[in-house]
Amino acid sequence: MFDFAGQYEQLVNIVFLAVTGFIAWNGIRYRDDEGNTDFVRLLFGCIAAVFFCLVLFQDVLGVVRF
């Protein structure tokens, strides 16, 4: 995904996975004090989860090509 990184591409992919994984986990699992979810957090959490899966399966594991 990050061709400009050169020899550090794997490290950049791992850092990207960590950040997007945290955003996805936080966005999808968030509940307020009353137990309600927030639509915007769910939306961005799902978008982050899609990018997480895309980078994981395509760039890191090399399982599929999108």
Q: Where are the domains of the chain?
A: 7-60
Global pTM value: 0.81
The answer, yes or no, to whether residue 62 has pLDDT greater than 80, is yes
What pLDDT score does 2 carry? 57
pLDDT, tens digit, for every residue of 5-61? 678 888 888 999 999 999 999 999 998 889 888 899 999 999 999 999 999 999 888
- Amino acid letter, 27: G
Q: Is the distance from CB of 46 to CB of 27 less than 8 angstroms? A: yes
The answer, yes or no, to whether residue 64 has pLDDT greater than 80, is yes
- Give 3-61 as a DSSP string: GGGGGGHHHHHHHHHHHHHHHHHHHHH---TTS---HHHHHHHHHHHHHHHHHIIIIIS
